[in-house]
Every structure is written in C-alpha cells, then in structure tokens.
C-alpha cells in the first residue's frame, strides 16, 4: 500500500508541475497553445528518456527512488521562481522552460520503473498484474492532480507557492517510503541519510515559501519601468498599475498593464480613447454598447454626450472594473464614469454575451469594440467573422460600430485582417489611424452594415470638447502612407484564426 500511495502522489505532483509550467508561460507570454505544446511534448519525451535512464538504478530501487523524489522536489518546486527570474532578468524564458520541462519529465519518467521494482521486492507477482495496479493508481493520481491545480492550489496558494507545496508532497513521499521500507536494510544508516536529506530539502522549500512574496514583488518590478503601485492576480489575468513621477513636470504617468501588456498611459490615453469613441458617435447614439474597456476610459468619452440614454459595458474581469471604480488615480482618469446611473455593467465573456443579446432582441445605436490585441486563441475568437456577424445583428438602423484594430505599422497584416473580416461579415468599413506615443501608430476600423455604405469620419454636432480628435485630424487619419497600405490576406474565422498567425509575426524587432 505504501508503494501504491507513492505512485498516487507522484502522478498527482508530476501533472501539477506540467500545469504550472503551462500556466506560467500563459501568464508571461500569453500564447497558451504554444506553451502547452512545448511543455507537454518535451515532458513526454523526457519521461521516456527517464524510464530508460532508470534501468541502472533498479538494483537499489529504494535509495534511487528517494534520490529521484528529492531531485524532483527541488527541480519542480523551484521551477516557477527560476523561470520567472529567467524571464524578468535574463530574457531567456523559453530555453529555460524547455530545460525545466525536460528535467521534470526525466525525473517523473524514472519514478514508475523504480516504484515497480520496489513493488516486486515487496511482493513477487505477475508483471502484468503489477503494471495494471500501478497504472490504475497512476491515472487516478493524475486525475486528482489535474483537478486540484485549478480548483485548489492556484486559487488558494497561487502559482509560486502552489508549486512549492507540491514539492513538499514529493519530499513527504520520499520520507514515508524510506521509513516504511528502510527497515529491510541491514543498517539504519541509509534510512537516516534519506530522512536527513528529506529534512534539508523541506527546509529549502520552506525558506523559498517564506520569501515567495518578496521574491515575486522584486521579480515583477524588474519587468516595469516605473514603480508598481498596485498588483493583483484576478481569476483571469495579472493586473498591474505603475506610476512614474516626472521631476519638474506638472504630471505623472499612471499605466495599467494586463498580463504584462500596456492598456493605457495617463499621459496620452485621451488620444486613443477620443479616436476610438467619437467617430462612432457621429450618428444616433441613444443606446451604446461598449465591449471591453473595463478601465472606464472609453466609457468616459461616451458619457460626455448628454443625449446618451443608456450604456451597457461588457467586460470579462470584474477585478478590472472594481479597480477602475475604487482606485483613485484611475477613477480620476475616467471621471468616475462607473458612478453614472446610465451605465450597466455585465461581467461576461463578450463572445457568449453577444449571442445571448441577439436572442433577446437587443439593439444598439453604437457599438464600441475595445478588446485587447488578439495574441491568444481566447482573444482571436473576438476578432472572428462569426463574432462580427453576431455584432451586426445587434445594430439598430443607421448604427455604427468601431473596432480597435492594433497598429497598421507594427502589425499591418493583423490590422488589415480586421478590415477584411468585418467586410466578410457584412460591414462597409472605413479604416483610420493616429499617433498614440505610448503605443506608436495605432488604428481602428469604423463600420456599419454594408447596405448603408462606408461611414464617414466625422464628429457629432454638439460633441463634447476634445483634446486631440478634430475634423482636420479625422480627415488626415484616413490617409495611409504606402508602407502601411492595405494588403491582401485571409479572413479570420473561429476554425481558422488567421489574425492569431498575423499577430504572432508582428512587432518583430520592436
């Protein structure tokens, strides 16, 4: 029973380590598909290598198992802080992740042959029956580890401390097996050595857990230019606010980052949000739908129109909205927009919410689409033909929709893919762009149903005062120089997210 219990613990821990590496990669780099594929492929290959490498150790399975477990506790437990450090200070994340995945897979692969040998030493039995017992327990352990990671370890301990807690289970497995089976040895020395090694490893893990918060804060700060003044991890993403004070200047720079991607800088965010919102408000605008933009800055621009009757804002992460409502520097930027009684907030995935809204017969005069850049499959679906077709069904007669579309200079293929996809979904479009210093040259696509013709870039009569957007600026924004001219390519769909491919090849060299 001791050996089978060890099999259970080892399987659960091994899967947690793999999931930890996948999750860390998605936090830091955002591309879940690539990270998952790399981690699983390298780990599975290394497990095969580890199984073969364990053959010379089968003559002393107890000693070898304890050594492998302690090595796995160190490698697996310290893999998350080590990779975070590699990303923050060395810019070597992917090579380090491959090495960590291989090392974890190598050690996990050695566990089963050693446990099999231990089981045979304890009770001689048919090899097929022994393999069946071990595999059954192994798969159940993997199930428990896979479920414990998202529902227990991650929410209660976080990624870093969760990996360390998992490593403690490896140490415990090594200690229990050593104590339970070591009595068969001729001397107590091997048991004492094994238990002492377990104690030392446990102390090292405990020390790292004690310093985990300080380490994470130091490593996180290394990723940002300005001091971090707020940091949290919501159920969906990392939320970081930095604030830089400029000596001798009359302003400071408040910046919001989601999963490391800049969302706005207080120095120039008005340029982005004025250009996003005001061209779409040139027609009817009694009922407005804002998709994304939980920071409330697009909301601020919409609410500047006194004749707006109601605004519905859909954003997946309530933590961002709570921050924009309560954190004074951001609340000051959005003019306390969330306190306006005309605003209704829906905490939902915009893709699913829009489909339900169509079924409910909802219609809007203006739709402002302010999604993050499509650098993951979860975001790419929000730039698909299917989603745009759904949004088209939400538009009232003479309605307008605007879509933030990225940079036509740094990511031209992705930018023009948005326009092509909107056209394929039944929209007449007008692309435009402007200089937002924090982002560079940035672009949007204004759209309305194709039977109404391409929308013009205008400001509404009685539009609120703007600091950047003006009739002359809007006229100029529709002009694209030759190096940013429209180009051919694919339409992005749910099953073929072309925009994700285009985004992955953008920003090269920048």
Q: Which of 122-126, 175-179, 341-345 ranks highest by mean pLDDT?
A: 341-345
Q: What is the CA radius of gyration of the chain?
A: 28
Q: Is 375 a catalytic residue?
A: no
Residue 421: pLDDT over 80: yes
pLDDT bin (cut points 50, 70, 90) of residue 122 is: low
pLDDT at res. 362: 95
- Asked if domains 2-219 and 268-504 share a fold, the reply is no
Stretch 12-34: mean pLDDT, rounded?
Answer: 86
What is the pLDDT of the chain when averaged over all its residues?
91
CA atoms within 13 A on the CB side of 87: 24
The one catalytic residue among 259, 370, 375, 413: 370
Stretch 96-123: mean pLDDT, rounded?
Answer: 88
pLDDT bin (cut points 50, 70, 90) of residue 344 is: very high
pLDDT bin (cut points 50, 70, 90) of residue 188 is: low
Residue 250: pLDDT over 60: no
Flag the least confident range among 73-82, 128-137, 152-161: 128-137
Stretch 214-230: mean pLDDT, rounded?
Answer: 91
Write the DSSP symbol of residue 402: E
pLDDT at res. 245: 76
Within 8 A by CB and 6+ apart from 212, the residues are 81, 160, 161, 164
Residue 62: pLDDT over 90: no
pLDDT at res. 505: 86
Question: What is the CATH number assigned to the segment(s) 268-504?
Answer: 3.40.50.150
Tell me the pLDDT tens digit for each residue of 267-315.
999 999 999 999 999 999 999 999 999 999 999 999 999 999 999 999 9
pLDDT at res. 194: 83
Tell me the pLDDT tens digit for each residue of 123-136.
666 667 767 878 88
pLDDT at res. 124: 67
Closest CA to 342 of 306, 386, 396: 306
Stretch 372-385: mean pLDDT, rounded?
Answer: 92
What string of H, E and C letters represents the secondary structure of 466-500? Answer: CCCCCHHHHHHHCCCCHHHCCCCCCCCCCCCCHHH
For residue 32, the Cα-to-chain-centroid distance in whole angstroms is 8
Helix (H, G, I), strand (E, B) or coil at 446: strand
Closest CA to 285 of 293, 274, 277: 277
pLDDT at res. 189: 55
Stretch 29-38: mean pLDDT, rounded?
Answer: 79
- The correct CATH number of 2-219 out of 1.10.1740.110, 3.40.228.10, 3.10.450.40, 1.20.1250.20 is 1.20.1250.20
Where do the domains of the chain lie? 2-219, 224-258, 268-504
Stretch 479-496: mean pLDDT, rounded?
Answer: 94
């Amino acid at each position: 029973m001791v050996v089978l219990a060890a099999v259970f613990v080892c399987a659960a821990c091994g899967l947690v380590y793999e999931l930890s590496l996948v999750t860390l990669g998605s936090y830091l780099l955002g591309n879940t598909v690539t990270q998952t594929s790399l981690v699983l492929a390298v780990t599975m290959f290394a497990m095969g290598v580890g199984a073969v490498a364990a053959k010379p150790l089968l003559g002393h399975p107890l000693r070898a198992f304890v050594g492998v477990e302690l090595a796995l506790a160190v490698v697996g437990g310290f893999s998350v802080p080590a990779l975070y450090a590699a990303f923050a200070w060395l810019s070597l994340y992917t090579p380090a992740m491959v090495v960590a995945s291989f090392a974890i897979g190598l050690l996990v692969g050695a566990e089963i042959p050693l446990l099999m040998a231990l089981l045979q030493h304890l009770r001689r039995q048919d090899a097929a029956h022994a393999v069946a017992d071990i595999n059954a327990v192994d798969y159940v352990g993997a199930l428990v580890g896979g479920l414990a990671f998202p529902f227990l370890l991650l929410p209660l301990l976080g990624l870093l401390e969760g990996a360390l807690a998992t490593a403690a289970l490896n140490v415990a497995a090594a200690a229990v097996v050593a104590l339970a089976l070591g009595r068969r040895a001729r001397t107590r020395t091997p048991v004492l050595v094994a238990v002492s090694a377990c104690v030392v490893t446990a102390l090292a893990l405990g020390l790292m857990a004690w310093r985990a918060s300080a380490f994470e804060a130091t490593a996180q700060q290394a990723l940002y230019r300005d001091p971090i003044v707020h940091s949290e991890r919501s159920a969906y993403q990392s939320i970081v606010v930095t604030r830089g004070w400029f000596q001798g200047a009359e302003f400071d720079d408040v910046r919001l980052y989601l999963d490391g991607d800049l969302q706005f800088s207080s120095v120039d965010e008005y340029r982005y949000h004025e250009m996003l919102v005001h061209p779409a408000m040139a027609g009817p605008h009694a009922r407005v739908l804002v998709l994304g933009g939980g920071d409330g800055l697009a909301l601020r621009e919409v609410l500047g129109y006194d004749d707006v009757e109601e605004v519905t804002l859909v954003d997946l992460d309530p933590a961002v909205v709570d921050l924009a409502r309560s954190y004074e520097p951001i609340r000051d930027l959005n003019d306390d927009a969330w306190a306006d009684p005309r605003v209704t907030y829906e905490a939902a995935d915009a893709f699913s919410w829009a489909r339900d809204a169509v079924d409910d017969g909802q219609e809007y005069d203006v739709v402002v689409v302010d999604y993050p850049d499509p650098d993951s499959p979860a975001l790419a679906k929000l730039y698909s033909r299917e989603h745009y077709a759904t949004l088209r069904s939400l538009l009232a007669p003479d309605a307008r929709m605007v879509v933030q579309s990225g940079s036509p200079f740094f990511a031209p293929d992705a930018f023009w893919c948005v326009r092509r996809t909107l056209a394929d979904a039944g929209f007449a479009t007008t692309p435009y762009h402007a200089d937002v210093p924090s982002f560079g040259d940035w672009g949007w696509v204004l759209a309305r149903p194709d039977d109404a013709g391409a929308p013009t870039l205008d400001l509404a009569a009685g539009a609120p005062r703007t600091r950047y957007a003006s009739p002359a600026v809007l006229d100029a924004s529709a002009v694209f120089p030759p190096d940013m001219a429209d180009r051919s390519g694919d339409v992005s769909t749910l099953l073929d997210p072309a925009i994700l491919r285009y985004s992955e090849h953008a920003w090269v060299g920048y």
